[in-house]
Amino acid sequence: MDFIKGLNDKQKEAVYYGDGPLLILAGAGSGKTRVLTHRIAYLIEERGVFPGNILAITFTNKAANEMKGRVGKLLHGKAEDVWMGTFHSICVRILRMFINRLGYDRNFIIYDTDDQKTLVKECIKEKNLNKDTYKEKSIISIISSQKNLMLTPDAYINENYGDFYCRNVGEIYAFYQEKLKKNNALDFDDLILKTIELLKKDKDALEYCQKKFKYIFVDEYQDTNKAQYVLIRLLSGKYKNVCVVGDDDQSIYGWRGADIRNILDFEKDFPNTKIIKLEQNYRSTKNILDVANSIIKNNRERKDKKLWTTNGEGTPTTIYTAFDEMDEGNFVADKIRSLVDTGEYNLSDFAILYRTNAQSRAFEEVFMRKDIPYRIVGGLKFYARKEVKDIIAYLRLIQNPADDVSLRRIINIPKRGIGLSTIAKIEKYIAQTGESIYSALLDVEDIPGLSQRAITNLKSFTEMINKFIAMKEVMELKDFIEEVVYSTGYIKELEEEDNIESTSRIENIKEFISVAVDYETHSEEATLEDFLATVSLLSDVDKTEKNGDTVTLMTVHSAKGLEYPVVFVVGMEEGLFPIRRALDGGSDELEEERRLCYVAVTRAQKLLYITFATVRTIYGNTSYSIPSSFLKEIPEELVIRDDKKRKFTAEPKEQKWRSKAQGVVVKEYKKGNTVLKKMLENRNVERDKKNKFIENKSKIKIGSKVKHKMWGIGTVVQLKEKEGDMEILVAFPEKGLKKLLLSVAPVEVI
C-alpha cells in the first residue's frame, strides 16, 4: 500500500522516519492526524512491527476513536491490537494487570466527581472542620492540581505549613487518600499517579511495559502536564522510540496544569531527537495565515516556524470598531445574514469566538431578536445557566412572595441549613392551610415538627427577603440586584470554592447585572417587575431548541481543533482579550493569551472578522475600552478597517467618569449623544456606601431633617439598630411615615 500518496515532503519525511525520538511540530491545519496515522500504518505494514507493540496516546476519547478508525481503514482492520486511548484509559489497562503490587485489588473502582465530593465531605466531617470554610469543590480542585504536579499530601503540608487553612487542606488530602485505598478506589488523577508509582517501584512491571511498547506516539504533546510527562519518560526508557506531535503555538491550557516546557525542551529530554516541522496549512487563506503569523511571532518562548499555504490570497481580515457590545452583536448578526443571503454560506459555516463565557449574552439576545438560530458549545445558553436562574428566582420571589416555585429553588441556596426534611414539613403544613410557603414562613412557629435550629434559619431567611422587599422600593435596579447577589452570600460561596468553574459562574452572575444596566439605559422607568417580564421572554426563547442549521458560539478554548469557513473573534479589548490577569501577571501568562489569539485566528478557513467595542458593559461595569494590544501586531496591509459605529455630533466637554476596571477616563458627551450620556451617568463609579452610611449615622438623631430623593424632606422620629444597620422611621409631610434602612436609603442629612 502507498502510505505517502497525497502527502507533502515534510509529511512523507515524518512517516518514513526510522527509530529514535521524533518531534513533529505540526502547525494549525497542517494535517498532523494524517501524518500520525500513516506513520503507525507504515510501521505495521511496511516495517513489520507487531500492532501490540505500538502505544498511541491522545487526550480525548473522540481523538482516540478517530485515530483507530483511520488506522483501521488504512490497514483493513489489522490494527486491533494497537494500544490506543487516552492517558487515563491506557493507565487503567496497565493497573488492571499490576495494581495488586501496590496493595490494591485488580477490581478497583474509579470514583467520579460526585463520589469525590461525598468522600471529601466525610473527611471534613470526621476532621471536625467547618464545612462552610472547607468547601468540597475547592478542596477537590486543590487535590487535583497537587496530583498533576505530583505533590504528595506531606509535600503540600510542608510547603504550606505556615498557612492554617492550607495545612488543614493537606490533612484532608492525606485522609482522602487513605479512604480511597480503604475503599479500593482511585480517582481520575490517581490513574496516572499510581501507574507512575507502580513503574518506579516494581521493576518487573516497568520491564514488561517498556518491552511491550517499542513505539510510543503522543498527540497534542504541548498539553501534557508534569505527571503525563514523567509517565512517557518511564514507558519509553528502553527503546526511546517516542514520537510526539504538537504545536507549542497552540499551548493554551497552562491554567489547568499543562507545561509548555515539555514540548520546548523535548530534544533536551530525549537526545538525538529528529525535529520535523509541518508548516504547510491546508485550512486557511494566505491572508488569515499572515495575520496569525504576525501575532504569534511576538512570543519569545516558541520554536521558530511560519505557516504557509497554496490556498490563495483570500479576503483581507475585517476589523470592526463597535460602539458597545450590542452594536458588536448587531454587526455580527447583520454580517451573517448578508453572507447567508448570497447563497454561498449556511448558518453552520459561522463561528463566534469569545474569551469568556459571559460574553455570549449580548450575542444571544441579538440573535433572539433577529431570529438567528444558534448553539452554545461547551456550556449552556446564558439564561439556562444555574447561577443565572438562581438569581432570577430570588428576584421573582422578592417581586412576588407567593411564588412557591422560585422559593423552593433558592430557600437553601447558598446553603443555610434548611434541609429536605424541613421543607417536607413546611409542604405538609401548607397543604392543609392552603397558603403560600412564604406566607407560612412569616409565622414559622406555627408549623409543627420544626426544630429550633430550623426555625431560626427560616426566620433569618424571611428577614432577608423582607429586607429586600423594602429595598427594591428605594434602590435603582442595578444597585438592587447587586445588593441581592452579594447579601444572599451567593457570590461569597462561589469565591470560597475558588476554581475555574466557580470563577466562570461568578462572571455569569456579574454579566446578568449587565443585563440590568442595559435595561435601565433603555427604559423610561426601570422597575423590577418590568425587568423580570423582559428576562422571562428571553428565557422562553432560550428554551426553544433549534436544530439543524445554526450559528456556533463558543470560547476560544472550546474551539481548539475545530475549523469554520467564517470566524468572528469578538471582544478584542485590553483587559478582556488578553484577559486582565494576564496583563497583571508575568510574560508567561501574556504569551499564553497570545497563543490563544493565534488559535482563534487559525480556526478561520475563508473569512475572518475581528471586533472590539469602544464602550463595554461587562460584569455590571461600563467602561471605555482600549483595543487589544494584539491588534497592533497585525500589519495594516492585511486588514480592512470598518469604523461605521454610531457617530457622535459633539466633542467631549468634561472628564467626569473614571473606570475602576481599566483606569481609563470616560468623557461625558453633550446633547446628541444621549445613549452614551445616559449609560455613563447610570454607570458612574459606585458610591462608597459604607463611608456614606458612617457619615449619616454619625450625624443622625431623633428630630434630624433628612432629604429623600422621592419623598422630599422629612423628620426622623425613631432610630433602631438592626443587624449592623440602622432602621430609621421618617415622617414625610405628604407621604406619612416611612421605614428606611440607613445604609441603602437615598437620604441625605440636612
Please give the positions annotated as active site: 32-33, 219-220, 250, 603
CB count within 10 Å of CB 420 equals 8
Nearest C-alpha neighbor of 39 from the set 210, 26, 354, 373:
26
- Each residue of 353-366: b (16+ CB within 10 Å) or e? bbbbbbbbbbbbbb
C-alpha cell at 259: 507545561
Nearest C-alpha neighbor of 654 from the set 674, 671, 669:
669
Nearest C-alpha neighbor of 703 from the set 714, 695, 692, 711:
714
Nearest C-alpha neighbor of 323 from the set 712, 596, 615, 57:
615
C-alpha separations of 698 from 413, 424, 701, 742, 746 in Å: 36, 46, 8, 11, 16
Q: DSSP for 453-517? A: HHHHHHHHHHHHHHHHHHHTTTS-HHHHHHHHHHHTTHHHHHHHH-SHHHHHHHHHHHHHHHHHH
Distance CA 217, CA 119 (A): 36
Q: Are 37 and 49 in contact (CB under 8 A)?
A: no
Distance CA 593, CA 586 (A): 11
CA quadruple 619, 377, 545, 551: dihedral, nearest 10: 90
DSSP tag of 525: S
Nearest C-alpha neighbor of 614 from the set 567, 654, 556, 574:
574
C-alpha cell at 286: 494566505
Distance CA 618, CA 593 (A): 19
DSSP tag of 308: B
CB count within 10 Å of CB 415 equals 12
H helix count then E strand count, the chain: 30, 24
Q: Could you tell me which residues come within 8 angstroms of residue 427 by beta carbon, excluding any fewer than 6 positions away?
A: 437
Distance CA 199, CA 181 (A): 18
C-alpha separations of 512 from 324, 465, 495 in Å: 16, 20, 17
DSSP tag of 253: -
Q: Which amino acid is at 390?
A: D
Alpha carbon 205 to its chain's center: 40
Q: Which amino acid is at 475?
A: M
Strand (E) or helix (H) holding 274: strand 274-278
DSSP tag of 256: G
C-alpha cell at 582: 494576564
CA quadruple 456, 461, 466, 468: dihedral, nearest 10: 150
Q: Are 502 and 137 in contact (CB under 8 A)?
A: yes
C-alpha cell at 488: 444572599
Strand (E) or helix (H) holding 440: helix 437-441
Distance CA 98, CA 207 (A): 12
Q: Could you tell me which residues come within 8 angstroms of residue 660 by beta carbon, excluding any fewer than 6 positions away?
A: 621, 685
Residues found in the chain: 750
Distance CA 170, CA 493 (A): 21
Distance CA 317, CA 608 (A): 5
